Structure 1
Amino acid sequence: MSLFLAVELDGAGAHPAAWRASGAAPVSVLSPNVLREAVALADEGGFTLATFADSPVPPSTGVDVAGRLEAVGRAAFVSTTTRHIGLAPSVPTATTEPFHLAAQIASLDHASRGRAAWVVEGSGPAELATVGTDGPPGETAEVVAAVRALWDSWEDDAVIKDVATGRYLDPEKVHHVDFIGSSFTVKGPLITPRPPQGQPVVLAAGGLDVGADITLLDAKADVAAARAAGARLVFAELEVVLDAHKPAAARLADLNRATPWNSRRTRFTGSVDGLVALLADLAGTFDGVRLHPAVLAVDLPILVDRVLPSLDVPARGDTLRSSLGLARPANQFETH
């Protein structure tokens, strides 16, 4: 069975001590060349989607890398240097204004010619402390609804560019949005024409309950329950440590001696053949898998050179939605 593959490309890798094994200076995670090379490798290797983690608080503390560039900016930077891979920055809903969020992701979709996505991020106590509020229940879902309305505030043919009459757009096809949430209001229309995909692809963890296009679950989670709740595509979350210059278990032990890797995600530690077998098994229940390589400089080339060629990865289309087999949605404001 075919399986969509996404990969997280934040920093030096998913392990907090990944920078120690990257072969580069810690500051390299802020280098445009390192980012461009990692995304290019994932693009050329056949990944459907790349994601870029982000948060209003540092990614780690102590002696580990404690900085990152903003995710939308990273995705925008590689939007014109890639050809097929989807680009999905994480954007927290509690610390980003919905109007600006909608404009940023719409602009990314235009820049990438239809390959933008958004990883919806809820917020924990540390993130919420940066804005001094814990937000009401359901606020994340309200932000997603407001963003989707803003993406539709321009109809597809609103821009007419009529030189003879000097009209750039048809005002009848640009719609006002007056969204009233429980803790915020948003007025539109958006300042950006409707994205090429109509609606960029939305990813979210299953517990957020926001009606995402892709629901992210742990690899051991109950997929049937998510599908019964209306999930369109379901991706498994899987951390990966592969045999390389050392056996995977030894590599992980070396990294953990520096900083323990504490995570709630399922983790695979072992051989290429073992990972291929696991992914083939997950293909029986999940639509895709988002891989979190422990050290990008080590694990990503192995994934590209030895894992993806052994799997049935679907061919990619002209847009991320077409790559995923998702229809381009109709505009909610169109009446004809």
Structure 2
Amino acid sequence: MSASALRLAVEIDGSLDPQDIARAAVSAENAGFTLLTLDDSTLVPGRIGGVERAAFVAASTTTIGVAPVVAVTYAEPFHVSSQLASLDHVSLGRAGWVVGEEDRPQAARVWGRPVVEGAVGLARESADGVDVARALWDSWEDDAVIRSVATSRYLDRDRLHYIDFTGDTYAVKGPAIVPRPPQGQVVVLGDPRRVPADRLDVALIDGPDVASVRERAAGTGTPLVFAELEVALDTGESTGADRAADRPDRGRLRHTGSASGLVRLLADLRGAVDGVRLHPLSADDDLLVLSRLVLPDLFTTRTATRPLPAATLRTNLGLPRPTNRYATSGTS
């Protein structure tokens, strides 16, 4: 692991009001975060999905990457892949996907599918779902769309491909109904204990202390590794420790306290990981402190790096644009 500058991601509760999410996204973008991830529940009746909320955020921003947390435990991978490809088109190449996992039995009833039981079954659904999505994103070659009004040709059918996927619980033939994403492949993030590392662009790892994060990061084998870090910062009204007193322990690295203490912790993580996904206790309170007292210091000392405007998420993460697996010529 090199000692290059950290990329910074921040998690926002996707169940917030859309306008609140948009305001938080704009604040995160202005602060200099590279990526915003949106977590949400699929079990709230009448609520629009995480990808649709991410599209709303993408329309409100211009630089920050946007990655909804989406599980394919029960959702159809064909539809998920189409939604994420559309998000990448809408955001002009700023889309990511945090691969979630749905272990609540009631979710199976919502989707009308049998309950997936046990860690092995859940991991199988995640791995198959990512495989299907990635194959579908490649099922259109980059130059499959012709748009020739003069010849009345709009698609080159020879550059559309069946993926012919057969898993343990379903089969998908394809091709996709959405052209290949601008990034070639949407950036895929996930926990390598739940999604095979070779399916991920970014591994999200946790650990109770810096030493355990360093140990896990060293053996991950993914292109990039981000540490999960829960944050509750001191504010003018209360201390971070008081604010986080009732926060459950998820086994993640945690900082409760001053902004300067967080700056030192992130400096310690530099060289151990490529980036950090911050989980603020409050989108309002903690984002304000992060924007004013933490990120400016990190950028001044070059501990972290700002994203480039008008660049794709892959570019800002230092990830190459993948070659299309089905391409027979050119540089798809």
Worse overlay, 238-247 or 203-212: 203-212
Aligned with 2:138 (options 131, 148, 152):
152
Note closer, same or farther for the CA distance 1:145–1:37 as it changes in structure 2 (3 Å cut). same
Counterpart of 1:191 in structure 2: which amino acid? Answer: I
Counterpart of 1:249 in structure 2: which amino acid? Answer: A
Give the deviation of 1:144 after TM superposition: 0.5
How many residues align structurally?
Answer: 307
Identify the residue that residue 243 of structure 1 maps to in structure 2.
Answer: 234
SS in 2 for 1:100: helix
Identify the residue that residue 305 of structure 1 maps to in structure 2.
Answer: 292
Aligned with 1:191 (options 177, 181, 193):
177
Tell me, yes or no, if the aligned pair for 2:189 and 2:202 is still in contact at 8 Å: yes
Counterpart of 1:5 in structure 2: which amino acid? Answer: L
Counterpart of 2:90 in structure 1: which amino acid? Answer: A
Identify the residue that residue 114 of structure 1 maps to in structure 2.
Answer: 93
CA distance in 2, matches of 1:226, 1:267: 17
CA distance in 2, matches of 1:222, 1:249: 22
CA distance in 2, matches of 1:225, 1:291: 18
Give the deviation of 1:176 after TM superposition: 1.4
Per-residue CA distance 1:255-297 (angstroms, 9 max, x = gap): x3xxx53433222100001000001101120110000000111
Identify the residue that residue 9 of structure 1 maps to in structure 2.
Answer: 12
Worse overlay, 310-319 or 225-234: 225-234
Give the deviation of 1:56 after TM superposition: 2.8
CA distance in 1, matches of 2:32, 2:269: 18
Asked if residue 203 in structure 1 is aligned to residue 182 in structure 2, the reply is no
Normalising by structure 1, report the TM-score.
Answer: 0.86
Give the deviation of 1:129 after TM superposition: 4.5
Tell me, yes or no, if the aligned pair for 2:73 and 2:126 is still in contact at 8 Å: yes
Asked if residue 329 in structure 1 is aligned to residue 322 in structure 2, the reply is yes
Q: Where does 1:77-156 land on structure 2 (aligned, <5 Å)? A: 77-126=56-105, 129-130=108-109, 131-134=113-116, 136=121, 138-156=124-142
SS in 2 for 1:196: coil
Structure 1: state its 5+ residue gaps: 13-28, 59-65
Note closer, same or farther for the CA distance 1:106–1:173 as it changes in structure 2 (3 Å cut). same
Note closer, same or farther for the CA distance 1:181–1:91 as it changes in structure 2 (3 Å cut). same
Per-residue CA distance 1:145-183 (angstroms, 9 max, x = gap): 111000000000111111111000111111112110111
Normalising by structure 2, report the TM-score.
Answer: 0.87
Tell me, yes or no, if the aligned pair for 2:234 and 2:259 is still in contact at 8 Å: yes
Identify the residue that residue 47 of structure 1 maps to in structure 2.
Answer: 33
Q: Where does 1:53-72 land on structure 2 (aligned, <5 Å)? A: 53-57=39-43, 69-72=48-51
Counterpart of 1:133 in structure 2: which amino acid? Answer: V
Tell me, yes or no, if the aligned pair for 2:192 and 2:220 is still in contact at 8 Å: no
Note closer, same or farther for the CA distance 1:68–1:5 as it changes in structure 2 (3 Å cut). farther
Identify the residue that residue 276 of structure 2 maps to in structure 1.
Answer: 289
Worse overlay, 193-202 or 69-78: 69-78
Give the deviation of 1:226 after TM superposition: 4.7
Asked if residue 216 in structure 1 is aligned to residue 204 in structure 2, the reply is yes
Give the deviation of 1:225 after TM superposition: 4.8
Structure 2: state its 5+ residue gaps: none
CA distance in 1, matches of 2:137, 2:47: 28
CA distance in 2, matches of 1:237, 1:250: 21
CA distance in 2, matches of 1:127, 1:328: 38
Note closer, same or farther for the CA distance 1:292–1:148 as it changes in structure 2 (3 Å cut). same
Asked if residue 180 in structure 1 is aligned to residue 171 in structure 2, the reply is no
CA distance in 2, matches of 1:280, 1:229: 21
Identify the residue that residue 230 of structure 1 maps to in structure 2.
Answer: 221
Note closer, same or farther for the CA distance 1:302–1:67 as it changes in structure 2 (3 Å cut). farther
CA distance in 2, matches of 1:204, 1:49: 14
Note closer, same or farther for the CA distance 1:11–1:151 as it changes in structure 2 (3 Å cut). closer
Identify the residue that residue 20 of structure 1 maps to in structure 2.
Answer: none
Note closer, same or farther for the CA distance 1:225–1:274 as it changes in structure 2 (3 Å cut). closer
Tell me, yes or no, if the aligned pair for 2:217 and 2:272 is still in contact at 8 Å: no
RMSD: 2.0
Aligned with 1:274 (options 258, 261, 265):
261
Worse overlay, 80-89 or 220-229: 220-229
Counterpart of 2:253 in structure 1: which amino acid? Answer: T
Note closer, same or farther for the CA distance 1:225–1:127 as it changes in structure 2 (3 Å cut). farther
CA distance in 2, matches of 1:223, 1:156: 38
Tell me, yes or no, if the aligned pair for 1:106 and 1:192 is still in contact at 8 Å: yes
